[in-house]
Amino acid sequence: MKKLIAALLLPAAVFVASPSRASEGGVRLDHAPIDQTDVISLQRGARTFVNYCLNCHSASLMRWNRLSDIGLNDSQIQDDLIFTGAKVGDLMKVSFAPKDAKKWFGVAPPDLSVIARARGADWLYSYLRGFYRDPARPTGWNNTVFQNVGMPNPLWQLQGQRVRVVQAAKGEEGKEGHGETVKYEMAVPGSLTPLQFDQTVADLVNFLVYMGEPAALTRKHIGIFVLLYLLAMWPLVWLLKREYWKDVH
């Protein structure tokens, strides 16, 4: 039995102990600095999401007025985030027809409502920062995390355009060694510095994580109160049990 329990707990222990898991292709993922209590970060992420993601991707499980959870009122949502005729009570959908998207890109852009729960914050953070120019691809873009990705870089104006540079590994005294090294260089700078861009992506991923479960913080707070309540009730229940069974021999 002990061996069975250890075998069941080992994968979970490995998962928790690893701060940055590898992607499907073996690429090591960067840690996403997520903070669901940072309302300003969530608001910035919502703005980036609306401006750069919601053009093609929908979030059909999320309503606009749910953004009140991150400190926005209906007027701010309507005036600053909704650029169509949608109302604050509507779902965050796009008018982009899936059949047209499949025809143009080969596959319809996925709904992003629960993408953070499906992929993970680290994967999204590394993916959105991993685009580089690749003339061999139909869109002209590729990605270090998702090779041969069909989506072009939606944030290229902010990040700039990186290129993949392959160099032969150097041996001793400058001689050619075995293998090669790959690095990515900025060919065309973007409107943001690398540090600013990383923060923008972190805010966007923070919002995607929030959108995957808007009630996560509330659920956790309720869970804490429930545990405290059960802890407070335990002595009373134990005393009641002792009183009830005292005459039973």
CATH number at residue 49: 1.10.760.10
Closest-CA residue to 123 (of 19, 23, 18): 23
CA 236 to chain CA mean position, Å = 44
- The total of structural domains in the chain comes to 1
Pick 21 or 80 by higher pLDDT.
80
Looking at 81-85, 98-102, 142-146, 223-227, which range is the least confident one?
98-102
pLDDT in tens, 33-57: 999 999 999 999 999 999 999 988 9
Model pTM score: 0.79
First CA to last CA across the chain, in angstroms?
34
Q: What is the pLDDT of residue 117?
A: 95
Domain assignment of residue 125, yes or no: yes
Given a cut of 70, whether residue 175 has pLDDT beyond it is no
Closest-CA residue to 202 (of 35, 25, 3): 35
112 and 59 Cβ atoms separated by less than 8 Å: yes
Burial 99-129 (b: 16+ CB within 10 A, else e): eebeeeeeebbebbbbbbeebbbbbbbbbbb
Given a cut of 50, whether residue 229 has pLDDT beyond it is yes
Domain assignment of residue 5, yes or no: no
Pick 29 or 85 by higher pLDDT.
29
Domain assignment of residue 248, yes or no: no
Residues 156, 159: Cα–Cα separation, whole Å: 5
pLDDT interval class at 8 (50, 70, 90): very low
Mean pLDDT, range 58-85, rounded to an integer: 94
Given a cut of 60, whether residue 26 has pLDDT beyond it is yes
- Residues of the chain with pLDDT > 90, as a percent, come to 62
126 and 23 Cβ atoms separated by less than 8 Å: yes
Q: What is the pLDDT of residue 37?
A: 94
> Which structural domain range is residue 160 located in?
17-242
Q: What is the pLDDT of residue 23?
A: 58
**Total residues belonging to the chain:** 249
Domain assignment of residue 82, yes or no: yes
43 vs 33, 53, 125, CA distance in Å? 16, 15, 17
Domain assignment of residue 7, yes or no: no
Domain assignment of residue 171, yes or no: yes
Domain assignment of residue 6, yes or no: no
Domain assignment of residue 8, yes or no: no
Q: What is the pLDDT of residue 51?
A: 95
Given a cut of 70, whether residue 155 has pLDDT beyond it is yes
Backbone CA torsion sign across 113, 115, 118, 120: negative
pLDDT in tens, 115-138: 999 999 999 999 999 999 999 998
Q: Which residues are CB-neighbours of 15 under 8 A, at least 6 positions away? A: 21
Cα dihedral 86→40→30→49 (10° resolution): 10
